[in-house]
Every structure is written in C-alpha cells, then in structure tokens.
C-alpha cells in the first residue's frame, strides 16, 4: 500500500495561486485517520510563545492500530495539547469506546520533547492509556519518531515500546511504523499511507500483527474531512471481526 502513496510525490507541484492544504503540526487526532500509529508525535513549534492546540472529532469507527475499539460503531474524540518553545509538550486525548472492563472511555495522558536534527523533526515521549471505571488495564508506552520532508510531502519513521507491566502480563510489546503523506496538486487534499507492525503484549495473541491505512484529507479552514481504508492482519490468521478492512470517515475541527 505504501508505494501507492509514494506515486503522489511524482505528480507535478501545485500551480501558483492554488492553496496547498497545511495539516496541523501535531497529529493527536482523529484516530485512525490522522493518527494511525496512536502516538501524539508532532513538530517543534516556531516562535517564542507557548501554543495550545485543541481538536474535536467524530469518527465512524475508532481503530487502534487497525483494531476497532468501538465494535465498529462511531466515536467522539477530543484532545488538548500545550507546547512550549523549548520543545517540551504535554497533552490529553480521549475517545468513547465499547464497554471494556467497565470503562466506556479511553483517556490518554502524554508528554515529551520535540526538536529538529539534521532536517528531521524528532519527537520522543511517553504516553499512558487510561480507562476510567476499569481496574488494572491501563498501560504506558515510550515512543519516538522522526519525520523528514520529501518534496511537498513527508516521510515518517517511528517506534513505540511497551515495557513489562504487571497488569499486562509477563511480556513487553513493540510497535514500528512508517507514514507517508503529500498534498495533491491543484486541490486542497492530502493523501496519506501508513504501515505498522506490532508484536508482544498489545497484540492479544502470540502472532505479530500488521496494520495499514490508505486515506485522504480534505481541509478547508479549521475543518478537515477524512476518508481512509483501515485494515489489519495477524500472522497466520484470517481477519477477525475486530480487524477486518473498513472505510473509516472522520470529521475534525482544529483550533
């Protein structure tokens, strides 16, 4: 799937006077359309003033790295993030979910540091996935990513590590991913593709999982409409009900 998105880099650049969509610097919502890797990585802000970003979204199916968290039903999501000129940031992200051990909401608390190294936008941080109303199911991950411009587009590589935690069992987890995005010429549309591989505790099985996404964002002012095909497979297994490929729509408001 990734090579299909790379073809967009070969298209001619936008003509003069045609607006090119500029996605938000941060990627903390909505999931999965704008955040298929489920970590809040972004870019260091410019200027000398702290910035607060707020996002409100609705999605037709909340997929966490390819796996539905809402039994295929819609979800309401939102986030708030504060970023300092030094590169330090912290934020909250939340979503409605299907009933999970008594919880009906996921709340993620995160923080980290962003900088630029040799042309790469680098982000390292830690995120805790919390489920209010449930006991002994929350977890934490350490993540890092690097993004680099390629023409008008961007390529990103990332990793997220789940250390051993008593409530998750006797093993750890590892997720590696790559994302590609680029604006299309002459239209306010950004196309994106994602490929990730997860192994260990978060797969809920002994088999590694591959997830992928191919989608497009239509941006006008603070509003973004997204459509994405999201899919996942466990090695050696047919698609389960929670991971079958599906077209996911999202409507996001950034301010």
Write out pLDDT tens, residues 168-197. Answer: 777 888 999 999 999 999 899 999 999 999
How do residues 190-218 score in pLDDT, each as one tens digit? 999 999 999 987 676 667 899 999 999 99
Do 139 and 165 touch, CB atoms closer than 8 A? yes
Q: What is the pTM of this model?
A: 0.85
Residue 81, pLDDT score: 95
Task: Collect all residues with Cβ–Cβ distance below 8 Å to 251 and sequence separation of at least 6.
Answer: 57, 58, 223, 224, 225, 226
Q: How far is CA 183 from CA 41, 191, 211, in A?
A: 20, 6, 23
Q: How many CB atoms lie within 10 A of CB 240?
A: 14
Specify the pLDDT at position 12. Answer: 39
* Fold topology of 2-254: Porin (2.40.160)
Which tokens is 106 given? 């996921």
The pLDDT value given to residue 27: 57
Q: Which two tokens stand for residue 172?
A: 């750890």
| pLDDT tens, residue by residue, 94-103 | 999 998 888 9
């Amino acid at each position: 799937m990734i090579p299909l998105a790379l073809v967009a880099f070969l298209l001619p650049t936008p003509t003069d006077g045609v607006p090119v969509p500029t996605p938000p610097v941060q990627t903390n919502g909505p999931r999965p359309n704008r955040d298929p890797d489920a970590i809040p990585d972004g870019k260091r802000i410019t200027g000398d003033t702290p910035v607060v970003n707020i996002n409100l979204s609705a999605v037709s199916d909340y997929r966490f790295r390819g796996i539905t968290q809402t039994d295929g039903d819609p979800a309401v999501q939102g986030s708030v993030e504060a970023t300092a000129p030094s590169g330090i940031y912290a934020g909250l992200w939340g979503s409605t979910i299907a009933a999970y051990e008594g919880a009906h909401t996921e709340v993620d608390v995160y923080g980290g540091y962003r900088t630029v190294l040799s042309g790469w936008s680098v982000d390292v941080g830690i995120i805790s996935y919390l489920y209010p109303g449930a006991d002994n199911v929350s977890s934490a991950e350490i993540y890092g990513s690097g993004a680099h411009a390629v023409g008008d587009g961007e390529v990103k590589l990332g990793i997220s590590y789940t250390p051993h935690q008593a409530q998750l069992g006797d093993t750890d987890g590892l997720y590696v991913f790559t994302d590609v995005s680029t604006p299309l010429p002459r239209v306010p549309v950004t196309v994106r593709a994602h490929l990730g591989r997860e192994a260990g505790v978060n797969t809920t099985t002994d088999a590694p999982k591959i997830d992928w996404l191919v989608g497009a964002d239509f941006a006008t002012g603070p509003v973004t409409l997204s459509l994405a095909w999201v899919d996942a497979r466990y090695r050696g297994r047919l698609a389960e009900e929670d991971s079958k490929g599906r077209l996911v729509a999202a409507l996001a408001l950034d301010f």
